A and B are shown apart, each in its own frame.
Chain A
Amino acid sequence: MTRTLLRVALVLPAITAFFVAMPGALANAVAAEAEYHHVHITSFAPAVSVRWYTEHLDCQPIADRDDAADCQGVEVTFVPQATQGSTQGTGVNHIGFSYLDLTAKMEELESIGSRGSGVRLQRFEGGEMIREAPGLFKYGFIFDPWGTRIELVEDPDRVGFHHIHLSSTNPDETLEWYQSVLGGERDSLRDRIDGLRYGDVWLLAMEHEEGIPATTEGRAIDHIGFVVDDLGNAASEMRSAGAEFQQEPTVPENARTSARRAFIYGPDNVRLAVVESGFAGVDSTFVEETIADSTPYDPAQTPWGEPDLQGVWTGNAAHGIPLERPSDLGDVENLTAEEAAARREGGTLGSIWGYEREWRDTTLGYDKNAPSTQVAMIIDPPTGRLPERTPEGQRMAEEASRAASLYTENRSAGPEDLTPYVRCITRGLPGLMMPSIYNNGLQIVQGPGFVAIQKEMIHETRVIPTEERAPLDEKLTTYLGDPHGHWEGDTLVVETNNFNGRTNYRGSSADMKLTERFTRTADNRLEYQFTVDDPKVWTQPWTGIFTFNLDNEQYDVVEYACHEGNYGMTNILSGARALDRERAEGSR
């Protein structure tokens, strides 16, 4: 990977598909007489990925390996590394698994549902999950949560890991290249699809539909791995067959065995690893982020002499920190780096029902920021939990819950039944400051006496005066209230009231007084502390905290034209009307 992982020595997961050698199955191998060894998949939490492939695709865990699963002889390896999206558009279109009863398998996957599991079905145009290719077999497609497209087929000749399907500008030449460099047996799958056999696992190639395939490196399937007995001999044979090495044979840093590995590029920008027998992957250890310099930070000043908070910040590292301390964590001070990664992974799996992995990972920049190990946002009360509600607060909460169930029953009679967020009006305060599922940028621009804070998600810009000004009359309420800022040392303190009460945060009311404190604690860190004082709802004020990270170099805040493109609203309402009609017809 050419991208630097900042100072976080965190290795991120990627999938490596190693095609495992099938002894005795080699024929006509021209050069290396290699066998499939592995498929290398990019995944942030390898253990989660192993579990997913074990649970859903009948792979087996490998003893002493928490980063790989054995899929019927082909190792699927999950490696944390910079991730730049799914397999779509690369030279590897998909990998294939075969089942004796595809219909049953698809039904099983459908019944799991994507929410929480990340199992996504790719239905055909008519909505069906399975099609039958005449003379071939039945097939359908799913995605894993890391963006790998997976074909499921019903081929009784080979059950389990079945094939890798390349996407090629010239499939015939591509297969010839693989055969001359890596061996394999030229064959035809059911006399219908030309391919190569490595053991009884297939390498197939289809015509790439548009342009030149994108490189696999850094994508969900980073590379495909082949295994040979002696990499030294194989490498020279491969070189004479025309292979170009991206990395010469070497024992990788942190390798678990002394077996060597090399990287070459196949046709169509497909990255290939060739490993020696005995290769057992590379140890990827999480190292917690530490701030090396403990001297107090002296923040930069603007040319006109105010603390300088300007830049593009993101809440990526804070993503996944719950507001309240989970009850099962007792008084644990911090999560371990692994636990933090697993927590954020869990959040991602929980959201894949609505958003693709690629969408989240690329917009959240997961490759850059190690997830925060903070247990909860709330630091006061010290329990990490919201304080007790007042009787009025309790009544309001019950009313809100009744209204929510009424809304479900009412099925969106009109746009007003949906939340201000769904309607693209606002995420409210302090809601809009919270790390968002994507478009997580926060841009700060300062002028003398004013700080403009622009949140990318649904696009909202707050203009904070840092000099005293007359408050708005209490009749003049707005969604985001009337902010008054001032500097306390190097901290920007913003006090806001005059809310219209049409949004709420965890049940807050229009009476809320919000106090926010922005402190730059390092060049690249902005600590954000928020105190909600709402005596109508809670018996005491409460305070939360998290940190934004600077990303001036790569992150560009884009225009989130939420309302302008709110097709979701049209779809929700027209769907509700269709249900109305169904219900009316049913009752007739």
Chain B
Amino acid sequence: MAQLSRDRRLLAMIERHCSGVSVNNFGVLSMKQLFVSVVTTFLFSAVTLSAQSDEVPRAWDNNPDLNGIWQAIGTAHWNLEDHPAGPGHPDLGAIGAIPPGQGVVEGGDIPYRADARQQQQDNFENRMTNDPEAKCFMPGVPRATYMPHPFQIIQGNQKIQVVYGFAEASRTIHMDKANPEAPPIDSWMGRSHGRWDGDTLVVDAQGFTGEAWFDRAGNHASAALRVEERYTPMGRNAIMYEATLTDDTVFTRPWTIRLPLYRRLEDNARVLEFKCVEYSEDLLYGHLRRVPTREAPDQ
């Protein structure tokens, strides 16, 4: 019975993975049919079948193969810290409300310096107009990782490209270049250099503009931010993501967030183009319309 139950799970997964096989109610299938189905699947898609094992997939060089489409689940994009439910924009009713969530910061709170905590609270007060996400600005690191959108990892033999969809953001993790002392230029997504530490992809990201936020709660850092990310596969379909953030001008000590990333298992999973600029234009330029839709922002 245990074996059958395992086979049922297997079949259910095969069903999701292989559009060529349709088994709606395997309770009425004979063992022969089951066998044929499984063999057919094996013949047509060895990759799909091997996907069933929970082993970490391996790339050509035997490092973990992180290729795929991934997404965080949870409320980190609302607030990295523990937070109760709260109101959103009144026009959106409950749709805009802040769902409650448990934090992903190890040890509880972000160790802000006093004025930096005040800045976070000011950011939160003014989030409707000031959050870079509302403006369709590139989300930066680590925020891009746990936004409520899928992202795709394209793992090459020299570089790893991570494509986020939102705001057309993407970043290159250089596996083939020496990490320069100082990044050549500040940017929203930073400069990333990676290396393997056992099965963990370790990425050193720095060279940020300091304008990105970490979430919709206004958590933030400065251009001095340095992020060490660790991507550790937990079997085939999940990665434990950890990011240690260091910025002495804003935090009293380095701190770490930790959350899993899940593989999107739908057959047709895609990172769809989400060019959000046009949805931010009224917010940014409404006061400059011939017929203004907003008041000019405070200078």
Contacts and interface: CB of A to CB of B under 8 A. Distances in A.
B243 interface: no
B172 interface: yes
A425 B277 contact: yes
Contacts of B291: 413
Given A423-B278, A461-B168, A470-B268, A564 B188 contact: yes
Contacts of B290: 413-414, 576-577, 580
A570 B288 contact: yes
Interface in B112-157: 132, 135-138, 152-157
A447 interface: yes
A478 B272 contact: yes
Given A448-B67, A461-B168, A570-B285, A561 B272 contact: no
A445 B271 CA distance: 17
Nearest to A577: B288
A439 interface: no
Interface in A435-453: 443, 445-452
Nearest to B280: A563
A414 B288 CA distance: 7
A310 B168 contact: no
B184 interface: yes
B273 interface: yes
Nearest to B288: A573
B106 to A, nearest CB: 29
A461 B161 contact: yes
Interface residues of B, number: 50
A574 interface: yes
Interface in B150-204: 152-161, 163, 167-170, 172, 184-185, 187-189
A475 interface: no
B298 interface: no
Chain A CB count within 10 A is highest, among B65, B156, B267, B271, for B156
Identify whether the interface residues of B are mostly helix, strand, loop, or mixed.
loop
B209 to A, nearest CB: 8
Contact of B163 (A426, A461, A556): A461
B172 to A, nearest CB: 7
A203 B189 CA distance: 48
A569 interface: yes
Interface string B228-249: 0000000000000000000000
B67 A561 contact: no
A304 interface: yes
A557 B172 contact: yes
Interface in B1-56: 19
B161 A423 contact: no
Contacts of A447: 67, 153-156, 161
B275 interface: yes
Contacts of A577: 288, 290
A426 B288 CA distance: 22
A415 B285 contact: yes
A415 B285 CA distance: 7
Contact of A303 (B60, B169, B270, B278): B60
A559 B136 contact: no
B82 interface: no
A433 to B, nearest CB: 15
Contacts of B157: 302-303, 310
A563 B211 CA distance: 14
A564 B59 CA distance: 36
B281 A310 contact: no
B61 interface: yes
Contact of A310 (B156, B211, B284): B156
B184 A558 contact: yes
A449 B167 CA distance: 24
A416 interface: yes
Nearest to B286: A414
Contacts of B60: 302-304, 448
B275 A479 contact: yes
A43 interface: no
Contacts of B272: 476, 478
Chain A CB count within 10 A is highest, among B153, B154, B155, B267, for B154
A454 interface: yes
B168 A414 contact: no
B27 to A, nearest CB: 28
Interface string A402-421: 00000000000111100000
B159 A445 contact: yes
Contacts of A459: 168-170
A461 B285 contact: no
A463 B271 contact: yes
Contacts of A449: 67
A556 B184 contact: yes
Nearest to B290: A413
A561 B138 contact: yes
A66 B296 CA distance: 56
B161 A558 contact: no
A469 interface: yes
A556 B159 CA distance: 13
A548 to B, nearest CB: 17
Contact of A414 (B65, B155, B280, B289): B289
Contacts of A478: 272-273, 275
A338 interface: no
A423 B154 contact: no
A302 B156 contact: yes
Nearest to B171: A559
Contact of A454 (B161, B188, B211): B161
Chain B CB count within 10 A is highest, among A463, A469, A478, A559, for A559
Pairs A-B, 9 closest by C-beta atoms: A573-B288, A559-B187, A445-B161, A303-B60, A447-B154, A413-B290, A452-B161, A461-B170, A478-B273
20 contacts: A303-B60, A304-B59, A304-B60, A414-B281, A414-B285, A423-B281, A425-B277, A445-B159, A446-B156, A448-B65, A450-B152, A454-B161, A459-B168, A461-B161, A469-B268, A476-B272, A478-B273, A556-B184, A573-B285, A577-B288
Given A310-B159, A452-B154, 6 more contacts: A425-B278, A443-B161, A446-B154, A447-B67, A448-B60, A573-B289
